[in-house]
């Protein structure tokens, strides 16, 4: 009875977190649907309009690890209060935007506040659930992500058909409804008191920002700046008394390899959310509302299967879930490469495999990586994981945009017969091969370890 009473706050927290994630994902995915409209209204290139997404993800990435670090020191309930209020403030700026720079500013400010959400999503399952039931908690959180992905395009399509796309900025304000519950159910525990190494955090932020600028602009000066910031960051964490990130964290082989795999899988998986709206708009000439509807079946299926994936990870292990997910994702990529340009109905079916696969992979990786972290580094460790995921999305969106801008008349997949979709076909052809290599790497490192653990 006592254990059941102690478990109640954690069960309520994970459901509140799932609702927060729904609104957060809606805010992010809605703008993928209207990128073509923003591009047309302000007469932008693919690269320029992608900054609505890439800038949001960049600030998200940097902010997530900062919030994660702060959560190791300060009360999580205070951090999420600040973040959600700032999230709503950025939404108000975007709502009254009349120029592209104001749209971009609103998205940046939204991201600065919303970054607390993925940090919290990484911390609550680890702090409030034991390892044997952590997969289920992550599955519930992922269900929130999937539901947001499912209803986001639908709501966006209906809203855009009735009013201007700027009204998409309204939805983050709903996250303020969760604040009383977070204040009630999050405990007052804080980590080790101390000062934050803001210089180290600033150098890390500079590294990430320069990396994105270098890729987006294909410029050597930001690339050199990225290298300089990175070297200074390494020097700082080795010399500071209390570094922003303890160097010992990176000497944890399993954690470092897990981050590397997360970087690659997130960048590859983001091709679904970013490229498919562009494909359906360019190759199939769908309006934004129909683009959103085409993506709904996959998101709904993912929402239904999210909790089952978490239970599967708890029952059969993370490697089993990762392998299952990888097969689904590679099947999606092969189908998209072969048939990009066909009826949107088929594309919607292909996306079911991809969305479910990517969701399962995120659950498996989060669960795997969380088990490699000591308790006193949970916040910054999971914050780094979230940062890596968003860096991958920001960088990959820039890479995909550059590839689309260049276009191609070559076809690497002989099955595809739609010249207007050749560039999309080639991208997914390469991604299928890359993910097969990642699957082998993951199973070699973590699959063997899981078998040895069960055998002992």
* 282 in the same domain as 219: no
Q: Which residues contact 68 (CB under 8 A, 6 or more apart)?
A: 119, 122, 123, 379, 380, 381, 382, 383, 384, 386, 387
Q: What is the pLDDT of residue 18?
A: 87
Nearest Cα residue to 129 out of 140, 145, 118: 140
Q: Which of 278, 264, 414, 410 is nearest to 337 (CA)?
A: 414
The answer to whether residue 250 is domain-embedded is yes
* Among 100-114, 133-147, 196-210, the least confident range: 133-147
Q: Is the pLDDT of residue 3 over 50?
A: no
Residues 6+ apart with CB under 8 A from 143: 18, 303, 306, 307
Give the confidence band of 4 by pLDDT, cuts at 50, 70, 90: very low
pLDDT at 394 over 80: no
pLDDT at 5 over 50: no
Instruction: Work out the mean pLDDT of the chain and round it to a whole number.
Output: 82
Q: How far apart are CA 179 and CA 280, in angstroms?
A: 38
Q: What mean pLDDT is predicted for residues 161-184?
A: 84
Domain boundary among the residues 188, 215, 243 is at 243
Name the one residue in this structure whose structure tokens are 């992979």.
361
Residue 1, pLDDT score: 38
Q: Is residue 49 predicted with pLDDT exceeding 60?
A: yes
Residues 333, 384 within the same domain: yes
**Pair (23, 169) in one structural domain:** yes
pLDDT at 8 over 70: no
**Does one domain contain both 225 and 315?**
no
Q: Last residue of some domain: 217, 243, 269?
A: 243
**Could you give the CA distance from residue 373 to residue 259 in angstroms, rounded to a whole number?**
12
Per residue in 331-368, pLDDT (tens digit) is 999 999 999 889 999 999 999 999 889 888 888 888 88
Domain presence at residue 21:
yes
When pLDDT is cut at 50, 70 and 90, the band that residue 156 belongs to is confident
Residue 409 has pLDDT above 90, yes or no: no
Q: Kindly state whether residues 436 and 288 are assigned to the same domain.
A: yes
| Predicted local distance difference test score (pLDDT) of residue 403 | 86
In a domain, 1, yes or no: no
Q: What value does the mean pLDDT take over residues 127-143?
A: 77
Number of domains in the chain: 2
**61-82 pLDDT, tens digit each:** 788 888 888 887 888 888 899 9
Per-residue pLDDT at 2: 39
Question: Considering the domain boundaries, does residue 219 fall inside one?
Answer: yes
Instruction: Say if 72 falls within a structural domain.
Output: yes
Spatial distance between the Cα atoms of 165 and 287, rounded to a whole number of angstroms: 13
Distance from C-alpha of 136 to C-alpha of 161, rounded to nearest angstrom: 38
Q: Which residue has the higher pLDDT, 297 or 189?
A: 297
Gap between the Cα atoms of 81 and 67, Å rounded: 12
More confident residue, 401 or 386: 401
pLDDT surpassing 80 at residue 216: no
431 or 2: which carries more pLDDT confidence? 431
Whether residues 250 and 238 fall in one domain: no
pLDDT value for 430: 93
User: Among 10-14, 157-161, 402-406, whose mean pLDDT is lowest?
Assistant: 157-161
- pLDDT (mean) for 202-226: 82
The per-residue pLDDT for range 291-304, each reduced to its tens digit, is 777 878 887 888 78
Residue 228 and residue 207 in contact, taking contact as beta carbons nearer than 8 Å:
no
Residues 6 or more apart from 53 whose CB is under 8 A from it? Answer: 31, 32, 35, 274, 393, 394, 397
CATH number (domain holding residue 370): 1.20.1250.20
pLDDT of res. 434: 93
Looking at the fold, whether 227 and 345 belong to one and the same domain comes out as no
DSSP string, 403-451: HHHH--S--S-TT---GGGHHHHHHHHHHHHHHHHHHHHHIIIIIHHHH
127 in the same domain as 36:
yes
234 is in which domain, residue-wise? 197-243
| The predicted structure's pLDDT at residue 404 | 86
Q: Residue 335: its pLDDT value, please?
A: 95
- Shared domain for 69 and 214, answered yes or no, is no
Considering the domain architecture, whether residues 420 and 295 belong to the same structural domain is answered as yes
Lowest mean pLDDT, pick from 78-82, 95-99, 337-341, 446-450: 446-450
146 and 237 co-located in one domain: no
**Band of residue 450 on the pLDDT scale cut at 50, 70, 90:** low
In a domain, 2, yes or no: no
State yes or no: pLDDT of 231 exceeds 90: yes
What tokens appear for 325 in the block? Answer: 């997910």
Residue pair 84/113 in contact (Cβ under 8 Å)? The answer is yes
Spell out the residues 6+ positions from residue 254 whose beta carbon is closer than 8 angstroms to its own: 372, 445, 446, 449
Q: How far is Cα 189 from Cα 74, in angstroms, rounded to an integer?
A: 8
Mean pLDDT of 21-28: 82
**For residue 313, what are the CA distances in angstroms to 262, 385, 456?**
17, 19, 19
Q: What is residue 45's predicted lDDT score, i.e. its pLDDT?
A: 73
The pLDDT value recorded for residue 431 is 94
Residues 201 and 300 in one domain: no
């Amino acid at each position: 009875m006592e254990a059941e009473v102690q478990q109640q706050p954690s069960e309520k927290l994970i459901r509140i977190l799932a609702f927060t994630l729904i609104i957060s994902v809606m805010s992010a995915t809605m703008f993928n649907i209207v990128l073509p409209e923003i591009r047309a209204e302000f007469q932008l290139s693919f690269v320029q309009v992608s900054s609505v997404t890439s800038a949001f993800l960049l600030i998200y990435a940097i902010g997530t690890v900062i919030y994660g670090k702060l959560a190791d020191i300060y009360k999580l309930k205070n951090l999420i209060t600040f973040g959600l209020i700032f999230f709503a403030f950025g939404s108000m700026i975007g709502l009254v935007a009349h120029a592209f720079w104001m749209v971009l500013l609103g998205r940046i400010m939204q991201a600065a506040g919303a970054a607390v959400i993925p940090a919290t999503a990484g911390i609550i399952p680890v702090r409030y659930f034991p390892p044997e039931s952590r997969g289920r908690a992550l599955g519930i959180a992922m269900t929130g992500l999937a539901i947001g992905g499912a209803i986001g395009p639908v709501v966006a399509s209906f809203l855009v058909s009735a009013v201007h796309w700027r009204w998409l900025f309204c939805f983050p304000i709903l996250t303020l409804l969760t604040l009383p519950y977070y204040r009630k159910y999050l405990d007052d525990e804080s980590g080790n008191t101390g000062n934050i190494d803001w210089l180290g955090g600033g150098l890390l932020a500079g590294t990430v920002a320069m990396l994105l600028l270098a890729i987006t602009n294909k410029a050597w000066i930001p690339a050199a700046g990225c290298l300089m910031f990175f070297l200074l960051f390494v020097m700082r964490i080795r010399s500071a008394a209390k570094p922003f990130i303890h160097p010992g964290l990176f000497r944890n082989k399993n954690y470092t390899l897990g981050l590397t795999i997360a970087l690659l899988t997130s960048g590859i998986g983001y091709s679904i959310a970013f490229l498919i709206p562009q494909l359906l708009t360019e190759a199939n000439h769908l309006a934004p509302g129909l683009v959103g509807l085409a993506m709904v079946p996959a998101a709904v299926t993912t929402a239904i299967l999210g909790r089952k994936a978490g239970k599967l990870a708890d029952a059969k292990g993370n490697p089993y879930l990762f392998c299952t997910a990888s097969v689904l994702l590679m099947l999606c990529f092969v189908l998209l490469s072969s048939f990009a340009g066909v009826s949107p109905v088929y594309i919607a079916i292909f996306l079911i495999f991809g969305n479910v696969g990517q969701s399962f992979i995120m659950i498996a990786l989060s669960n795997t990586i969380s088990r490699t972290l000591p308790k006193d580094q949970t916040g910054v460790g999971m914050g780094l994981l979230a940062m890596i995921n968003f860096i991958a999305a920001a960088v990959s969106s820039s890479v995909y945009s550059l590839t689309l801008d260049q276009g191609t008349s070559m076809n690497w997949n002989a099955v595809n017969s739609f010249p207007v979709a050749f560039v999309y076909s080639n991208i997914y052809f390469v991604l299928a091969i890359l993910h097969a290599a990642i699957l082998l790497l993951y199973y070699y490192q973590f699959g063997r370890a899981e078998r040895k653990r069960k055998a002992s």
